[in-house]
Amino acid sequence: MIFQGEPGPDDVEFDRALRPDSFDEFVGQGAIRENLHIAIEAAKRRDEPLDHVLFAGPPGLGKTTLSHLIAASMGTELVVTSGPALGAPKDLAGTLSRLRRGDVLFVDEIHRLPRSVEEYLYSAMEDSAIDVVLDQGGPTGRSVRIRLEPFTLVGATTREGLLSGAFRSRFGMVERLEVYPTDEIHEIIARASVRLAFPIDDDAAALIASRSRGVPRVALRIQRRIRDLAQVRDADRVDFATAEEGLGRLRIDELGLEDMDRRLLRALIERGEPTGLKTLPALVDESEDTLCEVFEPHLLRCGLIDRTPRGRVATSRARAHLGIGPASPNDGELPFEA
C-alpha cells in the first residue's frame, strides 16, 4: 500500500510543503515540544550548541520535522543524512569537517549505522574532534586528530533497542514519540487543508483521522488521495461522502487496517498456531523490519494480535473483524503470557 514503508520522492515533497514553520505550529507531542523549547532557549542564552538529541518512535510521527524545527529555532543549518548512507568512517568525516558551529546533523535510521561509524562519532560528539588514519595498513600508518566545530547530532530511530548503550548514553536528550490521539490528527488535517487551499468538512476530517492509525504521515497521504478524488469530481471541497468513498477505494477499513494488515491476520489464523517473526515475513511476502516497525504496533494496539513466547497469534477480535468463525481448541490461540 502507498501509506506504508518509506515515502517516495513525491510524498517527501508533499510532506515538506505541509511541514510546520515553528514549534507553535507543530501539533501534538506536547511534553517533547516543551522540553525542546527549554533546552533550545537555555543553549541560546549560553551561546552554545544544543545538546545531542535522540528521537525514538514509530515512523511518520514527526522526528524529521522536529529536527528541522530545532535547526530553525537555533538559527543554524540542517545537514540531513541516514544510517545506511554512512557505510564507513570516511563517509562521515567530510560531512563533520564541513559543519559550522551550532549546525544540526540529522541522521535518520541511526540504528543502522555500522558499529565502526558509531564509534567514530563518540569523539566527535564528546570532544568535537575526529581521528583520521593516514596510510592505513602501511608501515608508516598514523592518525591525525582534526578539530571540529561544536555541533548538534539529532538521531532518529524506530528501533532504539538496536543502539548500543555506549552510543545512546552520549545523547543529552532522549525523547520517545507516541502515536497521536484522533483529535490531534483531526487538527493536523484541518491545518493541512488550509495549506493545500482545498477545504475539508469537519466530519470528513474526523473520518480520515479515525482511520489514520494515529500517524500524521498516514493521515496526510490519505488526505492527499481523497483531495485528488474530490478534484476529479469537480468538487470544491472534501465532504463526508467523498472521504468515505475515498477510504473505500483505498481499502482502509474502520480500524485503519489496509490490505497487508488483513493478509497478516489471515495468515496467522490459517496457520493455526503461534508463528515466529522469522516465519511470518515469508507468509505475507514482506520484510521483517517492516512488519515490526509499521504493521505490528497498530495490530497490537487494536488487540488483533498477541505476542507469546512461541510467536504471534491472532486474537478472537481479529477473527470477528475479518468475519472468520470462532477459534477451534487447536488453532493456537492459547492463554500464553505476552
Catalytic pick among 103, 108, 261, 306: 108
For residue 158, indicate whether it is catalytic: yes
**Structural domain contains residue 291:** yes
For residue 63, indicate whether it is catalytic: yes
Q: Sorting pLDDT into bands at 50, 70 and 90, what band is 91?
A: confident
Query: Are residues 274 and 172 both part of a single domain?
Result: no
| pLDDT of 138 | 55
Which CATH number does the domain housing residue 282 bear?
Answer: 1.10.10.10
Mean pLDDT of the chain: 87
Provide the residue range defining the domain that includes 49.
29-176
Residue range 99-145, pLDDT digits in tens? 999 999 999 999 999 988 888 899 899 989 888 766 565 565 567 78
Residue range 239-265, pLDDT digits in tens? 999 999 999 999 999 999 999 999 999
Query: Are residues 36 and 100 both part of a single domain?
Result: yes
| pLDDT of 48 | 94
**Structural domain contains residue 314:** yes
Q: Sorting pLDDT into bands at 50, 70 and 90, what band is 46?
A: very high
Query: Are residues 263 and 235 both part of a single domain?
Result: no
Which CATH number does the domain housing residue 154 bear?
Answer: 3.40.50.300
Q: Sorting pLDDT into bands at 50, 70 and 90, what band is 316?
A: very high
- Rounded average pLDDT over 19-47: 93
**Structural domain contains residue 16:** no
**Structural domain contains residue 150:** yes
Q: Which three cell numbers stand for residue 219?
A: 493521515
Query: Are residues 95 and 163 both part of a single domain?
Result: yes
For residue 217, indicate whether it is catalytic: yes
Long-range contacts made by residues 301-305, C-beta under 8 angstroms, separation at least 24?
A: 301/179, 301/214, 302/255, 302/257, 304/255, 304/261, 304/265, 305/264, 305/265, 305/268
| pLDDT of 2 | 41
Query: Are residues 263 and 245 both part of a single domain?
Result: no
Q: Which three cell numbers stand for residue 158?
A: 524506530
Catalytic pick among 157, 158, 242, 275: 158
Give the three-state DSSP class for 279. Answer: coil
Length of the chain: 338
H or E segment and range at residue 167: helix 165-168
Residue range 204-243, pLDDT digits in tens? 999 999 999 999 999 999 999 999 999 999 999 999 999 9
| pLDDT of 329 | 46
| pLDDT of 210 | 96
| pLDDT of 88 | 83
Query: Are residues 82 and 54 both part of a single domain?
Result: yes
**Structural domain contains residue 118:** yes
Catalytic pick among 217, 221, 224, 312: 217
Q: Is the pLDDT of residue 154 over 90?
A: yes
Strand pairing report for 104-108 and 78-82: parallel
Look at the block and give the residue holding cell 532557549: 41
Q: Sorting pLDDT into bands at 50, 70 and 90, what band is 272?
A: confident
**In angstroms, what CA-CA distances link 16 with 20, 57, 144, 177?**
9, 20, 40, 19
- Rounded average pLDDT over 145-172: 92
**Structural domain contains residue 303:** yes
Catalytic pick among 63, 112, 211, 227: 63
Q: Is the pLDDT of residue 331 over 50?
A: no
For residue 331, indicate whether it is catalytic: no
| pLDDT of 335 | 37
For residue 108, indicate whether it is catalytic: yes
pTM: 0.83
